Amino acid sequence: MRPITLFTGQWADLPFEEVARLAGEWGYDGLEIACWGDHFDPWAAVEDDTYVQGRLDVLEKHGLAVHAISNHLTGQAVCDDPIDERHRAILPARVWGDGEPEGVRRRAAEAMEVTARAAAKLGVDTVVGFTGSKIWKTVAMFPPVPQSMVDDGYRDFADRWNPILDVFDEVGVRFAHEVHPSEIAYDYWTTVATLQAIGHRPAFGLNWDPSHFVWQDLDPVGFLSDFRERIYHVDCKDVVRQTGNGRNGRLGSHLPWADPRRGWDFVSTGHGDVPWEASFRMLNHIGYDGPISVEWEDAGMDRRLGAPEALEFVRGLAFDPPSAAFDAAFTSGG
């Protein structure tokens, strides 16, 4: 039975102990722990053995395990261009420093190496996160983007992430990149290009979150099939499309979450357009046996209602495959 975990990123305003208590009471099997708020500090983990043990003690107290940690916020700054006030708002002070862009990128890369070492000390083999992208700013297509600029973006990603991945290899941990707009891999073909850029090295895999596929008109089930060897982690988040009235645009119009004028919006798992049953059947087919993590995001629903409801929805669909074909029972035993 695959463990069902709760991603703590959207709960980082609460103390780690409180999130663990809630998740345990709701019946989650574990947590995907975010490296922000007070939930998990990679530097403290590598510098202080008692820190790691303290986190493990909290998990044990509430009947939980940990299978992955996530450092999306710091990973974002490794490749991003520009680096600006948006990053200052999400980065640890020791990564932001004086805000000089190249210094921020360098410190973010160092922090991701520390994150790999912290994961190993915690006893997990997967770090989920973002990569950032030098070329996401060119996605609007005008002024015209020369191919040389796109190619440089993939080289920049490889140059910055290969040394990070060397550390992941050293400590026996894998990086699961979340395919997501604003990243170097944000759809099907950019994922192909990203894997090619780093020579398909095993340290770099994918976090499958179908919500980012559906609003782009991509097939999340087919993605699982085609990239089956690279699915290192699964996040369950849902999305609803609202583009049928001729006014609501696919790009969101700079409108806030839950605004009815948006063309799409994140909703609690089971309330949107993700083909969940087909997705779980494909996860069975490709042999994925890792954690199923609920990433709860819904600006129109209270999270203390949505998180336990999402758990029950996922638990009802995350069934294991049968041990034998159903028609095996038809054969003669004589």
pLDDT grade, residue 320 (50/70/90)? confident
Q: Is pLDDT at 206 greater than 90 in this prediction?
A: yes
User: Mean pLDDT, to the nearest integer, of 5-20?
Assistant: 98
> Which strand (E) or helix (H) includes residue 264?
strand 264-267
Residue 54 lies in a domain: yes
Residue 28 lies in a domain: yes
What local confidence, expressed as pLDDT, does residue 326 receive?
Answer: 61
> What is the chain's mean pLDDT, rounded?
96
pTM comes to 0.96
pLDDT grade, residue 18 (50/70/90)? very high
What local confidence, expressed as pLDDT, does residue 328 receive?
Answer: 64
Q: Is pLDDT at 334 greater than 60 in this prediction?
A: no
Torsion angle defined by CA atoms of residues 39, 45, 48 and 54, in that order, rounded to the nearest 10 degrees? 40
The 3-class secondary structure across 70-90, one letter per residue, is ECHHHHHHHHCCCCCHHHHHH
- Cα–Cα distance measured from residue 300 to residue 265, given in angstroms and rounded to the nearest whole number: 10
What local confidence, expressed as pLDDT, does residue 177 receive?
Answer: 98
For the chain, where are the alpha helices, taking DSSP H only? Answer: 16-26, 42-47, 49-61, 72-79, 85-90, 93-96, 101-122, 147-171, 188-197, 211-214, 220-226, 276-285, 303-317
Two structure tokens written together for 192: 């192909």
Residue 258 lies in a domain: no
- Cα–Cα distance measured from residue 138 to residue 156, given in angstroms and rounded to the nearest whole number: 15
- Cα–Cα distance measured from residue 79 to residue 272, given in angstroms and rounded to the nearest whole number: 32
Residue 260 lies in a domain: no
For residue range 47-90, what is the model confidence (pLDDT) as tens digits? 998 999 999 999 999 999 999 999 999 999 999 999 999 999 99
Residue 253 lies in a domain: no
For residue range 254-267, what is the model confidence (pLDDT) as tens digits? 999 999 999 999 99
Look up residue 4 and give its DSSP letter. Answer: E
Identify the domain containing residue 69 by its residue range: 4-245+267-326
Residue 251 lies in a domain: no
For residue range 171-204, what is the model confidence (pLDDT) as tens digits? 999 999 999 999 999 999 999 999 999 999 999 9
For residue range 89-105, what is the model confidence (pLDDT) as tens digits? 999 999 999 999 999 99
CATH of residue 54's domain is 3.20.20.150
What local confidence, expressed as pLDDT, does residue 322 receive?
Answer: 76
Count: domains in the chain: 1
Q: Quote the percentage of the chain above a pLDDT of 70.
A: 97
Residue 257 lies in a domain: no
For 185-275, where are the alpha helices, taking DSSP H only? Answer: 188-197, 211-214, 220-226
For residue range 212-250, what is the model confidence (pLDDT) as tens digits? 999 999 999 999 999 999 999 999 999 999 988 999 999
Q: In a 3-state reduction of DSSP, which class is residue 178?
A: strand
User: How many angstroms from the chain centroid is the CA of residue 80?
Assistant: 17
Residue 126 lies in a domain: yes
